[in-house]
Amino acid sequence: MNQASKSPLGGARTTARAFFVSDRLNTSGLERGDVLATTPLAFRVNENGVAVLFRYGVVVLIGLNALEEEEFLRGLDHRMTGKFARRDEEIAIIELAPEKEDQIPPGGPICLQSLSPDRLILICEALAKSVVLARHEREVASVFDTTEPFARELALSGRMRGSRRSILKNIGGALLVRHRVSGPVEVAEKPDVLWDKPHLERLYARLEDEYELNERAESLNHKLAVIAESAQVLTDIIDTRRSLRLEMIIVLLILFEVLVTIYQLAMGRHP
């Protein structure tokens, strides 16, 4: 990792904003000599700004105004795969406080001893994971909203009235969300910066606590397990319905054959 030794920012207080813009972001070819880091890719923008790009579709911009942010994101359009119609955002205020330890007071800004690239990248790592979790939490909640009526009806009546197609659509939606949420973002994974700068682990631990990254990831994984179980139950219901239809057809065929046999016997006795 190639990093500069001094802060890339000009002031003592700045804003970091994370944008979850797409499923994937191609960062190949953006590397240059003045990069602050390569994993994730971080570099200076304009005079006092910093951009940090994550391959799983998150862009974190520090020290840029709204117009500069929009211009920068537009420049990445051709690098986005699966661009979202609605992007998720998360913001953090960063303040230089050289007389204090790195800390995050309740309801206050993130206070740093220095605005070094290492510290800024750790903040970007936490923001990026948080904004991804926020989107996935919303998607998982939508799946729960669609499966809840099926579960309620099954609990009340012991059967499900939905058509085979509607059940299959529900299963497909559940599996799609499960696949997307179980994607390339490993919340518990240690940022690369910490391997070179272990003294910053306390700062990152505070960021994890502030954004409740581990707790949210654990809750999300639990809900994904419930989604998988729900999809399996719906699949079993479809299989059961199909088996019942086949059994009914077989019974009707047997009954028809019995009736034909009885008719033939009756006709044989009365020529």
Mean pLDDT, residues 5-12 taken together:
62
85 inside domain: yes
Do 203 and 101 lie in one domain? The reply is no
3 inside domain: no
Q: How high does pLDDT run on average in the chain?
A: 85
Do 171 and 240 lie in one domain? The reply is yes
Examine the fold and report which residue of 88, 115, 142 is the final residue of a domain before the chain moves on: 115
Q: What is the count of structural domains for the chain?
A: 2
27 inside domain: yes
Q: Which H, E and C letters describe the chain, residue by residue?
A: CCCCCCCCCCCCEEEEEEEEEEEEECCCCCCCCCCCEECCEEEEECCCEEEEEECCCEEEEECCCHHHHHHHHHCCHHHEEEEEEEEEEEEEEEEECCCCCCECCCCCCEEECCCCHHHHHHHHHHHHHHHHHHHHHHHHHHHHHHHHHHHHHHHHHCCCCCCHHHHHHHHHHHHHHHHHHCCCCCCCCCCHHHHHCHHHHHHHHHHHHHCCHHHHHHHHHHHHHHHHHHHHHHHHHHHHHHHHHHHHHHHHHHHHHHHHHHHHHHHHHCC
2 inside domain: no
Do 109 and 50 lie in one domain? The reply is yes
Do 150 and 247 lie in one domain? The reply is yes
Do 146 and 263 lie in one domain? The reply is yes
Examine the fold and report which residue of 57, 82, 115 is the final residue of a domain before the chain moves on: 115
127 inside domain: no
Do 76 and 148 lie in one domain? The reply is no
pLDDT digits (tens, 9 = 90+) for 141-152: 888 887 777 777
7 inside domain: no
Do 156 and 265 lie in one domain? The reply is yes
**pLDDT score at 194:** 94
pLDDT digits (tens, 9 = 90+) for 25-60: 999 988 777 789 998 999 999 888 999 999 999 999
What is the band of 92 on the pLDDT scale with cuts at 50, 70, 90?
Answer: very high
Do 148 and 261 lie in one domain? The reply is yes
Do 141 and 109 lie in one domain? The reply is no
129 inside domain: no
What is the band of 182 on the pLDDT scale with cuts at 50, 70, 90?
Answer: low
pLDDT exceeds 60 at position 5: no
125 inside domain: no
Structural domain containing residue 261: 134-269
